[in-house]
Amino acid sequence: MTTFTITMPRALDLIAALEFPAKLPAPVDCKILIFDFKSSSLIEPFAMLMISSEISRYMHEHQDVEFKCSNYMHMSYAGHMGFFKSFGLDFGKSPGEANGSSRYVPLTIYSTSDIEKSAASKGIEIGDEVETISQQLSYTLCHIKEGILFDTLSYSIREIMRNVVEHSAASRFGICAQYWPSKNKAEVAIFDRGIGIKKSLSQNPHIDASDDKRSLNYALMPAVSGKAFKGSRVKQKGHWANSGFGLYMTNRICRNGGTFFICSGDTGMLLTKKSNAKRYFSTNLHGTAVRMVLKTDQLSSLKEALDTYKNEGYEIQKRYKEIINIDPSSASLMLSTDFDLSIWGKILAALKLRN
């Protein structure tokens, strides 16, 4: 009988979360699998969601393997956040159980059909229901119901959560978040095991969503959507009609000092504001995961930020037309850089449309 031990790293952060699936052993020889937390002292919301979901998935797929955790008793924060109970270890609280009175949202699983049913029973649109949930979560994190931080968190959570409900086809999704006032930092993670960005975007015939990397880049462009496009048979109306701006706006808001990470399929993409703004990671996720890190002392008024980004987004969208309806060859040039008007000249020069 083979016992396999995975020593969990000291910091369970973004990188550790992305590296974790590859550490899981091939099941053939493994009869007992032990997760050893003796070196771990830090755990972040995204890592909690991703690692617990991976452990649950692996346990479900390999029911003949016995699972154990060792040296975890000092991980009281993770326990309180519902990390251990989410994959069946009786330590700490269950997912969603902690009351979240201390500026965190514990690991919480939402059912998309419950959100839809709740909206229907109130006679409101699903987008309104998602907005209400996002505002509650934002309030849990920042303890006030107005102001730049409340507005920005509500907006960002709402856009990512709407995407799960509107595009992922997942029946459930997870969320976990923490605000650290002394560090002027907040992290929000949202994770689904739905169809992923590539499959969802491939409904749009104007773009080449043939691989995960391209698809992620397209999804972040202003006015690019898997539902709203020229010639789409589904005509959307009303306040929550898709326009392809959610990920574009949210990533720009986060990058005001913070970072935006999204992964789907075999690609993860970390965006910051610096010149080396884009970093790719190899992943293996059936679904979509987003991690937003906000520098809370560097946020500007949400309304002003949204107005600026929206205007720039429309301007960029208009200019797509200068280079033929985002055809794959010109798009690939744009995909290699960021959607900022200041780089437009460079794109045209590269396409030899301007010196």
Ligand X SMILES: Nc1ncnc2c1ncn2[C@@H]1O[C@H](COP(=O)(O)OP(=O)(O)OP(=O)(O)O)[C@@H](O)[C@H]1O
Task: Map 205-270 to HEC letters.
Answer: CCCCCCCHHHHHHHHHCCCCCCCCCCCCCCCCCCCCCCCCCHHHHHHHHHCCCCEEEEEEEEEEEE
Residue ranges in 177-216 that form contacts with ligand X under rule CB under 6 A = 192, 194-197, 200-201
Q: Which of 86, 112, 163, 217 binds Mg ion (CB under 5 A)?
A: 163
Cβ distance to ligand X smaller for residue 83 or 218? 218
Our CB check for ligand X shows the closer of 247 and 323 to be 247
The answer to whether the Cα torsion of 261, 108, 142, 133 is positive or negative is: positive
Q: Which two tokens stand for residue 167?
A: 């595009």
- 11 near ligand X, rule: CB under 6 A: no
**Number of residues forming the site for Mg ion (CB under 5 A):** 2
With the C-alpha atoms ordered 159, 282, 84, 81, is the resulting torsion angle positive or negative? negative
- Among residues 226, 258, 268, 313, the one that binds ligand X under rule CB under 6 A: 226
Which residue's Cβ lies closest to Mg ion? Answer: 246
Structure tokens at 12: 């369970």
* Tokens representing residue 143 in the block: 């303890």
Contact flag: residue 227 with ligand X (CB under 6 A): yes
Q: Which residues pair with 285 in a beta bridge?
A: 265
CB 273 within 8 Å of CB 257:
yes
Q: Which of 108, 134, 163, 217 binds ligand X (CB under 6 A)?
A: 163
Q: Which of 155, 245, 261, 320 touches ligand X (CB under 6 A)?
A: 245
Residue of 82, 194, 222, 246 interacting with Mg ion (CB under 5 A): 246
**167 in contact with ligand X (CB under 6 A):** yes
Q: Interface with Mg ion by CB under 5 A: which residues?
A: 163, 246
Q: Interface with ligand X by CB under 6 A: which residues?
A: 159, 163-164, 166-168, 192, 194-197, 200-201, 219, 225-228, 242-248, 288
